[in-house]
Every structure is written in C-alpha cells, then in structure tokens.
Amino acid sequence: MTRILDLTSSTDPRDVIHRVVQALVEGELVVLPVGGSYAVSALAIHADAVARLEQNAPAGTEGCLLLASSDAAADYLPLLSPSNERLLQRCWPGPVVFRFPVALPEGLGAELPRAAQRQSAPDDQLQLLVTASEPVLEVLRLLPAPLLARIPANAAAVMSEGAAADGQGFADLILEAGPVRKAGIPTVVRVSGEHWTIDRAGLVDSDAVRDAGCQTILFVCTGNTCRSPMAAAVFRKLLSARLQCGEDELPSRGYRVESAGLAASHGMPASPEAVQLVERAGGHLARHESRPLSIRLLSQADYVFTMTNAHRSTILQHHPEFGTRVRTLADDGSDISDPIGQGFDEYRRCLEQITAHVKRALDRLFV
C-alpha cells in the first residue's frame, strides 16, 4: 500500500525529508513535486528501482534526470560551452528540461544502470532538469546521485497533487506538498552546439528562454533615474548600430542591456533631463522604470558597470563573489558624478562623459 508523508501538516519537515531520502536509497519509488506536476521518481543509481520505474512508467510520461544544481550538469556534459552554462544557470531552477545530443555512457552517465540510461537519454538525447521545488532540492542535496523521474509529456499526465498518484498502485511513497504552484508540463529545450530550439512548449515561453541565453550587461548607479538609465540607453543605441539591427532586436542577437540602482525605488521614471538628452541623441528612455539592484540581477549579469568606485565597493562588500564582473564604467577608475538637481548643462556633461566611456567599453567587450 502506498504511504503518504504530508509535508504541509508536519511539525518536523526535516524528518519528512530524511524519510524520503531513506526510502529512495532503499530502492523505493517516490512521488515528488517536480516542474509543474507530481512525478514518480527513483534513485538513478538503484538498478532495481529504475527497472521497476521503467516497467510501470505512467502513460504520457518520459524519463529525466533531476539534478541538485546547474553545476551538476557538467558531470554528465563535460564539454558545456560558456553560453550553454549561462543558459542552464538562468533557466534553472525552473520547469525547463534540457535535451543534449550525447550518447551515454559519458561522464557520470557511465555509472547509471542501463534502465536509467534508456529512460534519461532516449534516442541519445540526455534530458536534465533542476526543479524549483525546494523540498525536492533538499532531498537531492542529501542523496549520493541524481533522481530519475517520469515527468509529464502532455497535459493529460500532469498531476497537480501528490495524492492523485495513489491510484497508480506501484509507487511506494508520496511526498504530499500541496497543489503545485503552477501546474503544467515543463518546456523542453534541445541544445546543439551553440544553438537551441524548443522541442515542446510548456510553462516557460520561448522569449524567457531566449532572454536567459543572452549576454547581459548591467549598469548601476544610486537611484536608477539618470546615470545608469542613460548609460544603458547609450549602450543599446551604439551596440545596435554596431550589429546593424534595431534596439528591439538585441535579445534575438544575444544581448540584454539593463540598469538598476543601489538605493532605487520601484517604478520611478527617468529624470526629464535624461529623457530629453537621450532622445536628442537618438536613444530611448521615455518608458524607463527604476528598480533596485538585486542578487538575481547581479547573478544574471555577465558585466556590471558602476558609475562610481563607491558603487562598486558597496556591491563587492556584500557580494565579493562578483568581483570579476563588477567594474567602474570609466576604465581609468574615475567617477561619473550624479547630475541630479544641478541643471540641464550638468546633465549634458554627464551624458557626454557616459557616452565616451560606453564607446570604450564596447571596444573592449566587442572587438
């Protein structure tokens, strides 16, 4: 009889997680919340468990390796390119399955039982996922290997609650964590070399996947209403001219240009002087809305340009791990002073200074 562990009503969630881990290590099949649905899972290195999972695979599902983090993908894909690493890091954790053309056994895939290899890499297309479900991530962190899960391949196979799997009979345990936040099938992205295509539409749309794969340049000032928006606008204009495309085409060409402020509020417009000057120069700033700098923005940026040394020092004081990507916009280490409240002429001088440094930054980054 299938057992149910209800995480939502437990007074000791850690005990529940440890009991799930023990069940998986002992070769039991466990229903877990994974990528928009509940899915039957087994420890990928347990031969008997993955064989039983293969024999009883629910209709409309397909096999996928569940990893604890995007870094773990390198164990199965030793030749990941920087652009592929960026794509994985920004889409995960989340309901996106990546398919890579790789014939197992390769990397740690050689250690998987044959039944696990057949299910996780049908037609030599290895399928990997890092779920956003925190309970499952906690389980994975305590396991000696990834999980093999049978995830839904169509809407009919989606299980929005764990107890829905009880009638299938062959699962030994259900981790009931309540209804999934957003039920549906994961998006499946096929990666080949530096290119990717969406094999199956799902919870994440193609624009979001495209943006995740872009090289991101982030400009930072204090309030995100004049200096950093102007710098981002100038960078977009000059980069699109260099690539001979419209600014709205930059994401499809692989680039995102963003801005934020260390002490910014949400949703403030750019200062009127900044809007007017940027538009005179052929850029666009009328629709700008300020936002505070966040760890998510920092982690997604490939390059972070600050307006002053103090901005850079403040960021690195709290996030020293980003030391290699955070630099002042002025390559000589000088500061770009805040023009706010100092009149139109000071704004014009500020924009001229920003433009000169942005041109040099473009030359350094895109030879």
Choose, from 221, 226, 236, 256, the residue flagged as catalytic.
Answer: 221
What angle do helix axes 206-213 and 82-91 make, rounded to 10 degrees?
130
Helix pair angle (272-280, 344-365), 10° resolution: 60
Which residue, 310, 350, 363, is CA-closest to 333? 310
pLDDT of residue 166: 54
Same-domain pairing of 328 and 222:
yes
What pLDDT, on a 0 to 100 scale, did the predictor assign at position 80? 79
Residue with tokens 């680039």: 255
- Res 15: pLDDT: 97
User: Which of 19, 75, 338, 348 is flagged as catalytic?
Assistant: 338
Q: Measured between alpha carbons, how far is 364 from 48 in angstroms, rounded to an integer?
A: 55
pLDDT, mean of each 10-residue run, the chain (367 residues):
91 96 98 93 98 94 96 84 86 95 69 94 92 96 97 92 68 93 94 89 92 92 97 97 93 92 96 96 94 92 96 96 95 93 94 97 83
How far is CA 193 from each of CA 81, 91, 210, 289, rounded to the nearest angstrom?
Answer: 8, 17, 15, 36
Domain count, the chain: 2
Residues 98 and 145 in one domain: yes
Please report whether residue 209 resides in a domain. no
Residues 187 and 283 in one domain: no
179 and 140 together in one domain: yes
Q: Please give the pLDDT value at position 168.
A: 58
List C-alpha distances in Å: 81 to 85, 103, 195, 252, 260.
6, 18, 11, 19, 28
Question: Distance (Å, rounded) from C-alpha 321 to C-alpha 318?
Answer: 9
Beta strands in 44-172 (DSSP E): 61-66, 96-101, 125-129, 147-152
Active site residue 226: no
- Provide the residue range defining the domain that includes 165: 3-204
Residues 21 and 160 in one domain: yes
Q: Is residue 117 part of a domain?
A: yes
Distance separating alpha carbons of residues 220 and 304, to the nearest angstrom:
7
Residue that finishes a domain, picked among 173, 204, 235: 204
Q: Please report, for the domain that includes residue 128, its CATH number.
A: 3.90.870.10
Question: Could you tell me which of 18, 10, 9, 4 has the C-alpha nearest to residue 139?
Answer: 18
Confidence at residue 105, expressed as pLDDT on a 0 to 100 scale: 52
Same domain for 186 and 229?
A: no
CATH value at residue 280: 3.40.50.2300
Q: Is residue 258 part of a domain?
A: yes
For residue 26, what pLDDT is reported?
98
Catalytic residue among 52, 86, 90, 227: 227
Same domain for 180 and 236, yes or no, is no
Q: Is 221 a catalytic residue?
A: yes
The interaxial angle of helices 272-280 and 227-243, nearest 10 deg, is 20
Cα dist. 10→13, 28, 175 in Å? 6, 21, 11
Q: Which pLDDT score is estimated for 112?
A: 92
**Four-residue CA torsion sign, 131, 132, 133, 134:** positive
Quick one: 107 and 9 in the same domain? Answer: yes
**What mean pLDDT, rounded, does the chain reach?**
92
**Is there a domain that residue 303 lies in?**
yes
Does a structural domain hold residue 238?
yes
Q: Is residue 323 part of a domain?
A: yes
* 7 and 98 fall within a common domain: yes
pLDDT single digits (tens) 162-214: 776 654 568 999 999 998 889 999 999 999 887 889 999 999 999 899 888 89
Both 26 and 78 in one domain: the answer is yes
Query: Among residues 146, 176, 204, which one ends one of the domains?
Result: 204
pLDDT given for residue 321 in this prediction: 93
Query: Based on the domain organization, do 9 and 69 belong to the same domain?
Result: yes
**Whether residue 289 sits in one domain with residue 265:** yes
Could you tell me if residue 52 is inside a domain? yes
Owner of token pair 């040099």? 360
Residue 221 to residues 80, 189, 231, 336, 351: CA-CA distances in angstroms? 34, 36, 10, 9, 14
Among 181, 204, 227, give the residue marking a domain's end. 204
Note whether residue 342 is domain-resident.
yes
